[in-house]
């Protein structure tokens, strides 16, 4: 479906202040057009054919629980086994066509995503509860990710290289070969960018994929399947299985899976790793597993930039980014002023129906997320002070979605769970500090190490932060986001400690090689015998 012949402007995480009048015009067409198609039953896809095995379940929109996104089939373990077998059969041909042809196909897929951009954006609004600009940035990131990984294959000649010769006449080289079939398991919050980032890296490297979306993201999975098929991906190279924990566990535990790419919680990621470690040989687990993502605001900061950046990273997408800023350390002389300024700027945020162009924050993804947020608010009231927010919005449409007022919390004792645990909700704790050394020790004391940001116009402070913070993604003095806003080929996205598993992140030039294994070849020339 295309809603207009007009080309929508590109939105990134760094140009959100642009005038997007045309984009909103296109949204006014795309949102009702997709809305009219919601509620249908969607099959799984194995070998390019629909599969309807498994129990049917219903997915509802966070915007309004009366909106049924669609009905989906929870793939059985038997269907998982069948999909993996089909993927193995298709993978051999996919590998054999060579990386150059794979790059061509992946680029056609990126073009198809761009062609259907407004439909995909509308899906992200309905399915995740993203604002219009947030959804547009995600879909733009999706096609950029695919193109970037294709370009990395081209730049590196599939990461091959000649080696030194040990003997005259021999051909010595190092090449990279795909593992086989990767399981890809994704969360709900970036149903296009995260999913296509993991899948396109696996595919361009020559692997086949068995993909399980979040149970809440089956609609986007259907659209992804259509885009990849339209781009010319051969049948069976990508297989899509909806479902819940049983389906995901069956993928992880299947002997035929050669590797896993996973984005989600640390607990689940480590469970996958332990399972793979107990097998007869090592298999790759590429996992990004959330974060706590502290920010640090010095008395020598650009005050307004710090307030803007912390607000955006704490409350954008309802705090449902793995890089969301949920703890902020502020130097004591400016602490009260910063708390008051952040409270004032947060009060300006529009909360409501994300289908409307003026809305900044929608509902959290479901009632379970709302209950998790409420428990955090209750804990903050018991041991700390809620400066503003912390209320559940009620009345009218608010009663059919988990809309919450983002809390700003102070005065919690050090070591409290709200300093330690990932909430995945709009929620920030602020704490004063006397020295940056003290603040970094506290910020580093958590199990996570995904992103961190600092605001200071003192170069020595920025250098100390960079040298001592334990995180893989760092930002300094960024008004558009204290801890968020990475883009393919611009910032790599690597989790340290409990946030990542391999020490190499997505969006950068070390990601694709992880989907391949090295093979050293030393071949002497063929000689005629006789």
Active-site residue numbers? 288, 322
Rounded (10°) CA dihedral 422, 423, 425, 430: -80
What CA–CA distance (Å, rounded) separates 105 from 412?
A: 53
Count of beta carbons in the 10 Å neighbourhood of residue 92: 11
Helix, strand and coil percent figures for the chain, each rounded to 5: 40, 20, 40
Q: Which residues contact 303 (CB under 8 A, 6 or more apart)?
A: 334, 337, 338, 341
Q: Which residues contact 204 (CB under 8 A, 6 or more apart)?
A: 99, 102, 103, 106, 149, 150, 153, 512
b or e along 63-72 (b: 16 or more beta carbons within 10 Å of the residue's beta carbon)? bbbebebbeb
- What are the two backbone dihedrals, phi and then psi, of residue 125, each rounded to the nearest 5 degrees? -65, -50
Contact 333, 299 (CB under 8 A): yes
Count of beta carbons in the 10 Å neighbourhood of residue 193: 24
Short-list 413, 404, 267, CA closest to 349: 404
Alpha helix positions (H), 360-458: 367-383, 417-420, 436-444
The Cα angle at residue 65 between residues 116 and 132, in degrees rounded to 5: 35
Enter the DSSP assignment of 455: E
In the structure encoding, which two tokens stand for residue 464, read together? Answer: 């100390």
**Residue whose pair of structure tokens reads 């020339």 in the numeric block:** 525
């Amino acid at each position: 479906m295309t809603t207009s012949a007009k080309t929508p402007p590109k939105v990134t995480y760094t140009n959100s202040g642009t005038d997007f009048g045309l984009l909103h015009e296109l949204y006014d067409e795309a949102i009702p057009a997709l809305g009219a198609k919601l509620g249908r039953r969607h099959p799984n896809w194995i070998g390019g054919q629909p599969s309807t095995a498994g129990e049917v379940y219903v997915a509802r929109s966070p915007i309004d629980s009366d909106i049924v996104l669609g009905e989906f089939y929870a793939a059985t373990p038997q269907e998982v086994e069948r999909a993996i077998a089909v993927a193995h059969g298709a993978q051999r041909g996919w590998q054999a066509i060579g990386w150059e042809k794979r790059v061509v196909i992946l680029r056609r897929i990126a073009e198809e995503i761009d062609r259907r951009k407004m439909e995909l954006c509308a899906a992200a609004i309905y399915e995740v509860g993203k604002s219009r600009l947030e959804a547009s940035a995600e879909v733009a990131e999706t096609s950029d990710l695919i193109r970037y990984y294709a370009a990395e294959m081209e730049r590196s000649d599939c990461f091959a290289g000649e080696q030194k010769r040990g003997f005259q006449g021999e051909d010595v080289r190092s090449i990279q070969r795909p593992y086989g079939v990767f399981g890809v398991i994704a969360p709900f919050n970036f149903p296009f960018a995260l999913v296509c980032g993991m899948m396109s890296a696996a595919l361009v490297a020559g692997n086949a994929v068995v993909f399980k979306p979040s149970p809440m993201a089956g609609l986007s999975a259907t659209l992804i399947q259509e885009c990849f098929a339209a781009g010319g991906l051969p049948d069976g190279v990508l297989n899509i299985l909806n479902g819940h924990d049983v389906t995901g566990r069956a993928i992880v535990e299947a002997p035929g899976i050669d590797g896993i790419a996973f984005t989600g919680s640390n607990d689940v990621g480590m469970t996958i790793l332990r399972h793979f470690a107990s097998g007869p040989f090592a298999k790759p687990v590429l996992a990004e597993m959330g974060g706590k993502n502290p920010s640090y605001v010095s008395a020598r900061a650009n005050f307004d930039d710090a307030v803007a950046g912390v607000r955006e990273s704490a409350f954008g997408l309802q705090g449902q980014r793995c890089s969301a800023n949920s703890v902020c350390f502020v130097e004591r002389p400016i602490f009260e002023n910063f708390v008051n300024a952040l409270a004032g700027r947060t009060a300006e945020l529009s909360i409501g129906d994300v289908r409307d162009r003026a809305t900044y924050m929608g509902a959290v993804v479901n009632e379970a997320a709302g209950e998790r947020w409420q428990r955090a608010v209750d804990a903050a009231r018991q041991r700390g002070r809620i400066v503003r927010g912390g209320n559940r919005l009620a009345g009218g449409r608010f009663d059919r979605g988990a809309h919450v007022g983002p809390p700003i919390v102070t005065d919690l004792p050090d070591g409290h769970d709200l300093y330690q645990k990932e909430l995945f909700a709009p929620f920030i704790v602020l704490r004063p500090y006397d020295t940056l050394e003290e603040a970094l020790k506290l910020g580093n004391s958590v199990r996570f190490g995904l992103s961190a940001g600092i605001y200071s116009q003192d170069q020595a402070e920025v250098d100390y932060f960079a040298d001592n913070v334990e995180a893989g993604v760092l930002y300094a003095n960024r008004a558009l986001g204290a801890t968020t806003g990475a883009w393919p080929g611009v910032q790599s996205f690597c989790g340290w400690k409990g946030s990542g598993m391999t020490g190499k992140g997505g969006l950068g030039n070390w990601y694709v090689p992880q989907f391949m294994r090295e093979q050293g070849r030393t071949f002497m020339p063929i000689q005629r015998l006789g």
